[in-house]
């Protein structure tokens, strides 16, 4: 057994062999795994509606509790990339950030170990958005596992500066930054994905569930809401077209934020030509994944 396989196994132990097997297959064959989920969501979309949704709630809850994302602002994602020490967020606090019954821990071991892999959602949907190699495995054993086991994903080790540059490029293209967690990889966060909204299986699922009134989602709120500075706004409508959650509309050439739909991703902030939009904490929408606030001692170690 390879050392990276042993490291993944140690996250589970012999009592959770099925969970370990799931995590192993997921990481090794991530594009195939996500393709299966994408097809399942597509099939679900053909049969579920707001009238019969109650019949499917148990299945939706089961899937979303096991495997989900947390929307992140670019600034909060950069803080994780810049960490130079191991970080463990206290469990009870982590559950407020990642509000799911399972896969809700934030434990970063060797967070400076970063490996980019091809976006599994992009592969699943057969899209051509660029760059392809934009999902980041953060820390160990995930980074080394992908390098050793998933050659088809084109794993590439990145420096901090390369990872930061990649995330900024993706944000400017309108791609959403999500931290991902899964039960099979140790019930914790393991990656920061920078997914094109047209590709992202989780965002597609979230928007569909919102549309039919299902409260369960594969994506947790980022904890922020977009705010418009109307004194600066030029009203060109750029950000309304880019919002992946359909949260921005135009009224008399001014953007209007639907706080019920806004997930706090910050794409509007990064792409407003007049710099007329900013993020602020959203009361009652969850706790942002701001590692400095969650673990204050991590701040001084950031480079």
Q: Are residues 140 and 258 located together in one domain of the fold?
A: no
Structural domain contains residue 116: yes
Q: Read out DSSP for 181-207?
A: EEGGGTSEEEEEEEE-TTT-HHHHHHH
* 118 DSSP β-pair partners: 133
The domain in which residue 43 lies consists of 3-220
Q: Are residues 78 and 61 located together in one domain of the fold?
A: yes
Find the DSSP H helices in the chain: 3-10, 17-28, 30-47, 57-66, 74-81, 91-97, 120-125, 142-149, 160-172, 201-212, 238-242, 267-271, 291-294
The reported pLDDT for the residue numbered 298 is: 74
Domain CATH for 251: 3.30.70.20
Which of 220, 235, 263 is at the close of a domain?
Answer: 220
How far apart CA 261 and CA 273 sit, in angstroms, is 22
Task: Tally the domains of the chain.
Answer: 2
Structural domain contains residue 47: yes
How far apart CA 261 and CA 255 sit, in angstroms, is 14
* Owner of token pair 């559950």: 95
Q: Are residues 147 and 274 located together in one domain of the fold?
A: no
The reported pLDDT for the residue numbered 302 is: 43
How far apart CA 19 and CA 272 sit, in angstroms, is 43
- Block mean pLDDT (10 aa), the chain, length 303: 93 91 97 95 92 94 96 97 95 96 97 97 93 97 97 97 98 97 97 96 95 95 96 90 95 92 96 95 94 83 43
Contact 82, 103 (CB under 8 A): no
Per 3-state DSSP, the chain is made up of helix, strand and coil in percentages (nearest 5) of 45, 20, 35
* 117 DSSP β-pair partners: 135
Contact 153, 132 (CB under 8 A): no
Q: Are residues 129 and 237 located together in one domain of the fold?
A: no
Contact 86, 108 (CB under 8 A): yes
The reported pLDDT for the residue numbered 301 is: 46
Structural domain contains residue 240: yes
Q: Are residues 64 and 173 located together in one domain of the fold?
A: yes
Q: Are residues 191 and 61 located together in one domain of the fold?
A: yes
The reported pLDDT for the residue numbered 38 is: 94
The reported pLDDT for the residue numbered 14 is: 84
The reported pLDDT for the residue numbered 263 is: 97
Phi, psi of 152 (to 5 degrees): -70, -20
């Amino acid at each position: 057994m390879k050392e990276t396989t042993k490291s993944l196994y140690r996250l589970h132990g012999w009592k959770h062999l099925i969970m370990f097997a799931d995590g192993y297959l997921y990481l090794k064959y991530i594009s195939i795994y996500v393709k299966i989920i994408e097809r399942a969501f597509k099939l679900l979309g053909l049969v579920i509606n707001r009238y019969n949704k109650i019949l499917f709630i148990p299945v939706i809850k089961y899937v979303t509790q096991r495997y989900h994302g947390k929307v992140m602002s670019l600034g909060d994602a950069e803080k994780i990339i810049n960490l130079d020490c191991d970080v463990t967020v206290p469990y009870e606090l982590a559950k407020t950030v990642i509000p799911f019954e399972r896969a809700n821990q934030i434990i970063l071991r060797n967070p400076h170990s970063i490996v980019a892999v091809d976006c599994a959602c992009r592969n699943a949907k057969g899209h051509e958005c660029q760059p392809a190699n934009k999902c980041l495995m953060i820390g160990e054993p995930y980074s080394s596992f992908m390098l050793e086991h998933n050659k088809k994903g084109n794993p590439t080790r990145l420096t901090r500066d390369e990872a930061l540059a990649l995330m900024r490029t993706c944000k400017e293209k309108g791609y959403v930054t999500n931290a991902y967690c899964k039960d099979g990889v140790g019930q914790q966060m393991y990656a920061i994905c920078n997914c094109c909204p047209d590709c992202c299986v989780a965002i597609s699922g979230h928007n569909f569930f919102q549309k039919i009134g299902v409260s369960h989602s594969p994506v947790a709120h980022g904890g922020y809401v977009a705010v418009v500075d109307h004194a600066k706004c030029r009203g060109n409508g750029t950000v309304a077209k880019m919002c992946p959650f359909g949260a921005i509309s135009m009224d008399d050439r001014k953007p209007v934020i639907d706080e019920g739909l806004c997930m706090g991703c910050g794409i509007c902030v990064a792409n407003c030509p007049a710099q007329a939009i900013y993020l602020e904490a959203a009361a009652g929408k969850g706790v942002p994944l701001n590692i400095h606030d969650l673990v204050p001692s991590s701040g001084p170690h950031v480079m």
